[in-house]
Amino acid sequence: MVVAKKYVLVKAFDGFPNNDNIEFQEETLLPLKDGEVLFEALFLSVDPYMRLFPIAVGSVMIGEQVSKVVESRHSDYAVGSLHVAKFGWRSHTVVHPKDLQGQIQHLPDMEGLSPSLGLGAVGMPGQTAYHALLDYGQLKEGDTVVVTAAAGAVGSVIGQIARIKNCTTIGFAGTEAKVAWLKELGYTHAFNYKTCNLGEVLTAAAPNGANVYIDHVGGDMATEIINNHMAVFGRAVIVGSISAYNATTPQKLPGLFHGILMKQLTIRGFMHPSFSAAENAASNKDVIHWIKEGRLAAREHVTKGFENMREAFYGLFKGENIGKAIIEV
């Protein structure tokens, strides 16, 4: 008899998430029926989108995990095989895979890299970085690229892909340790947005403006960059809007319309599910190649223990993670 651990949303988010919102619970799983599979989480992901997307009160917190088959009554799911699955914040999960179409994918061939990267650079965040920059951002050789939350799971990959594509890269993060790491990654310029003068450093680092801006923060910072530091025909891709997720009153910001018009900008909202499995496989292939060549560092911020998952999640909104935040069970 397996007892699954899980986290349930018991009170809708309002402001910063805390333990009043998310409750630890246990659940005794029933023996497998024909066609069912028992999975055990090895690594779980915490991501800002878990604060953004609506989750029904009483539901398990949403999310992905790298999960191993520990018992199987389904011929496609061999015991010991690894999967990336959208089971939410659960240690153990019994499912009939046909009930979760597209939610359980075989872990890509990692070519010897850690399976946990299937939640990061070789998973949703890495694919997001790749498609936001190359497809929506229409990156061209020699472009100047600005990235906020540059030391995060997505931002750190963006800066490195842009560097590989011979672009000038300008990253913003919120601690000196992150800024130091961005420089190690090869960001051309890296700044602590909490202590720098945004306008001054961008005027100096991007005198002709940014061709591509990958936004994770929204709010005043994104407004300043879009209104005052884009090149003509610049592309801004909105990948996150973390400054607004925990805001309890709507923001009022300087308008964007005049700048969009005068510089003929394109601003586009990005959601990972709009890309196909084939497109994501193409991203994975390139990213694995770059990691193995030593050109792309896939740093992880690992929290050990399923019991610490909530704190790891809250930490995202305090800027605690450098690289991809992962829970190792």
Binding site for its own copies (CB under 8 A): 52, 215, 218-219, 222-223, 238-241, 244, 250-271, 274
Kindly state the tokens that stand for 293. 């060549």
CB 261 within 8 A of CB 292: no
Toward its own copies, which CB reaches closer, 87 or 270?
A: 270
Nearest-approach distance from CB 288 to its own copies, in angstroms: 27
Which of residues 37 and 237 has its CB atom nearest to its own copies in the complex? 237
Rank residues 74 and 268 by Cβ distance to its own copies and give the closer one: 268
d(CA 40, CA 57): 24
- For residue 296, give every residue at least 6 positions away whose Cβ sits within 8 Å of its Cβ, in sequence order, or none: 121, 157, 160, 161, 164, 287, 290
Which CB atom, from 52 or from 180, has the smaller least distance to its own copies? 52
Please say which residue, 174 or 259, places its beta carbon nearer to its own copies: 259
H or E element that contains 131: helix 124-131
Q: How far is the CB of 222 from its own copies (least distance, A)?
A: 6
Nearer to its own copies, 215 or 300 (CB): 215
Which one, of 55, 245, 49, lies nearest residue 153 by Cα?
A: 49
The residue among 104 and 139 lying less far from its own copies, judged by its C-beta, is: 139
Cα distance between residue 76 and residue 65, in whole Å: 19
In angstroms, the CA 124 to CA 122 distance is 7
CB of 257 to its own copies, least distance (A): 4
DSSP letters spanning 46-92? --THHHHS---TTSBPP--EEEEEEEESSTTS-TT-EEEE---SBSE
Taking the least distance from each CB to its own copies, the nearer of 32 and 244 is: 244
Distance of closest approach, residue 245 Cβ to its own copies, in angstroms: 9
Q: How far is the CB of 13 from its own copies (least distance, A)?
A: 15
- List the one residue out of 20, 12, 53, 43 whose CA is nearest residue 309: 43
Rounded Cα distance between 255 and 306, Å, is: 44
Closer to its own copies by CB, 199 or 255: give it: 255
Distances (CA, A) of 209 to 115, 202, 236, 263, 326: 39, 8, 12, 11, 35
Residue 6's DSSP bridge partners are: 25, 90
**What is the smallest separation between the CB atom of 238 and its own copies, expressed in angstroms?**
5
- Across-strand partners of 15? none
β-pair partners for 212 = 145, 235
Residue 282, classed as helix, strand or coil, is: helix
Smallest separation (angstroms) from its own copies to the CB of 130: 17
22, 310 Cβ separation under 8 angstroms: yes
Min dist CB 220 to its own copies, Å, is 9
